[in-house]
Amino acid sequence: KISTGYMGLLEMARRSGNRLTYKFDDVNDEYAYYTVTVRVRAKGFKSPVAG
Question: Which of 20, 23, 25, 24 lies closest to 37 in space, CA to CA?
Answer: 20
Spatial separation of the C-alpha atoms in residues 42 and 51, rounded to whole Å: 16
Question: Which of 18, 35, 15 lies closest to 27 in space, CA to CA?
Answer: 35
- Cβ atoms of 51 and 39 closer than 8 Å: no
Q: How high is the pLDDT of residue 5?
A: 59
Q: How high is the pLDDT of residue 19?
A: 86
pLDDT tens for 1-51 read: 666 656 677 787 888 888 889 999 999 999 999 998 888 777 765 666 555
Q: How high is the pLDDT of residue 42?
A: 74
